[in-house]
A and B are shown apart, each in its own frame.
Chain A
Amino acid sequence: MKKSVNLYFGMAAIVGLLGLGCLGVPAAYGVSEAFHGKIYVPGPLKPVDSELKVRVGEPAPDFVLPSLSGEKVQLSQFRGRKNVVLSFVPAAWTPVCSDQWPGYNIVKDLFEAHDAVLLGITVDNLPTLFAWTQEMGGLWFPVLSDFWPHGAVAARYGVLRSDGTTERAIFVIDKEGIIRYIDVHDINQRPPLEEIVKELEKLPKP
C-alpha cells in the first residue's frame, strides 16, 4: 500500500512539474501579420549557448563589416563622436528577430537624444538581410552582415552560438569605445526597450 501511495505521489509530482515546466518555455510571440507565412519557427531554443569574451569596462573590440547600404562600417569610426548600441540578433526570418528591429525603427529619436547610433548585426549574408529588412519596410539604422568569415565579430565578442547563429545580445559602448552594458538575452525573448534606454541615460549627456 505504502509503495502504491509513493507511486501516486511521485506521478503527481512529475506531472505537476511537467506542467510547471511550461513556465520556462518562452512566452508567445506577437508575430506581425506582415510576416505571415514567411517566418521559420525553430521552436524554443537553449536560452544562451556561448561564453562572453568581453566585459563591461573593457574596450570594445574594433571591427569592420559590410552594411546593407554598400558601405563598410567600422566601430572605431564613432570613437569620440557617438555612443554605439550593437544589436546582435540570431537570424533573419525567425520569430523574435522579425519583431525586434521594427520596434527600434520607430525610436530613432530616443537613440539620437542620447547621441547614440544603433548598429544591427546578424550572421546572415547581405542579400538575405536586404530581403528581410525590406519586408520590415526598411530600417533607419545600419544593418551589418557578419557572414564571412562566418560570425567572426560575434565570436570575438563571445556571442556566436554553437549552431552558427548569434545570441540576442545588446552592447552599449560609450564614445571612448568602452563597453558600458552587456545583455546577452534569452534568445527566445525580446529585450525590453526600456532597458536599452535606461543604459543610454547613464552615459554622459551630449
Chain B
Amino acid sequence: MARQTCFFLLLVLFAGLGAGMGSAGWGHAETGVPGVGKSFPPIVLEAPKDPAMRTYLGIGDVQTFTVDKVDADVVVVEIFSMYCPHCQREAPTVNAFYDLARKKNRPGKTLKILGIGVGNSSFEVEVFAKKYNVPFPLIPDGEYHVHKTLGQVRTPHFIALKRGADGSRKVVYSQAGSFGSPEAFYRLLMER
C-alpha cells in the first residue's frame, strides 16, 4: 500500500513537473493579468545592463529584480512588443508620460515606468528603444515567460502598481490599449 502511495505521489510529481515546464516561466503559474486590488506576480526580470537604467529603477547593481523592488510609489509596467503596431504608435505618448512623471516626481510621490517586451530578444527591445528614443528601461521577455504568466495579454497593456502604507503594492490600473492623454493618466494614478 505504501508503495502504491509512493507511486501515486510520483505520478502527481511527474504530471506537475511536466505541466509546469511546459507552461509559464519556471516557478510561475499562469496567474492571468492581475486586476485592480491584486498583487503583481513576483516574476524575476533581467536587470537592465545600462547602469543609468538600474539607477532609475533604484534596484542597485543586480542581475535580476522583481517589480516590487523598483524604488517608486507608483510603478507603471508596459507590456509591449517591438512587432506590435499599436505599441509603436503609442511610443511617443508613453515617452511623454515618462517626461511628465519625471518633472512631477518628488519625495513620497514618485512614478517610474518600465517596459517588458514580450517575445522580444534583447536585440529587438534595443531596436524599439532606439527607434522611439525610449528613455525608460525595456526588459526582454524572449521566451514569453512573463507574457504567459500574465495570461497572454494583448499589447500594449499597462499595469500600474501603487505602494500602500504597509509597503505592499497593489494594482490600481490594468488595461490593454492606449491610456489616453499623459496628463489625465498621471492624474488618475497620482491624484486620487
Contact = CB atoms under 8 A, between A and B. Distances in A.
Contacts of A203: none
Interface string B125-155: 0011001000000000001100110001011
B21 A23 contact: yes
B14 interface: yes
A: interface residue count bin = 35 or more
A133 B3 CA distance: 61
A28 B81 contact: no
A22 B127 contact: no
A192 interface: yes
Interface in B141-187: 143-144, 147-148, 152, 154-157, 176-177
Interface in B93-145: 118-121, 123-124, 127-128, 131, 143-144
Interface stretch (A8-16, A47-55, A67-75, A157-165): A8-16
Contacts of B156: 33
Interface in A180-199: 190, 192-194, 197
A103 B16 contact: no
B79 to A, nearest CB: 8
A43 interface: no
A12 B15 contact: yes
A100 interface: yes
B: interface residue count bin = 35 or more
Contacts of A23: 21-22
A33 B155 contact: yes
Contact of B84 (A17, A102, A192): A102
The dominant DSSP class at the B interface is helix
A106 B131 contact: yes
A121 B4 CA distance: 58
The dominant DSSP class at the A interface is helix
B10 A8 contact: yes
Nearest to A16: B14
B15 A29 contact: no
Contact of A99 (B11, B84, B143, B152): B84
Contacts of B11: 8, 11-12, 15
Nearest to B118: A30
Contact of B119 (A17, A29, A102, A107): A29
A140 to B, nearest CB: 13
Contacts of A27: 119, 143-144, 148
Contact of B89 (A29, A31, A100, A137): A137
A21 B17 CA distance: 11
B14 A8 contact: no
Contacts of B20: 19
- Please name the 4 residue pairs, one residue from A and one from B, whose CB atoms are nearest each other, closest first: A19-B18, A22-B22, A16-B14, A103-B83
17 contacts: A5-B7, A12-B15, A19-B15, A19-B22, A20-B18, A20-B22, A27-B143, A30-B84, A30-B118, A30-B120, A30-B154, A34-B84, A36-B176, A99-B84, A192-B123, A193-B123, A194-B121
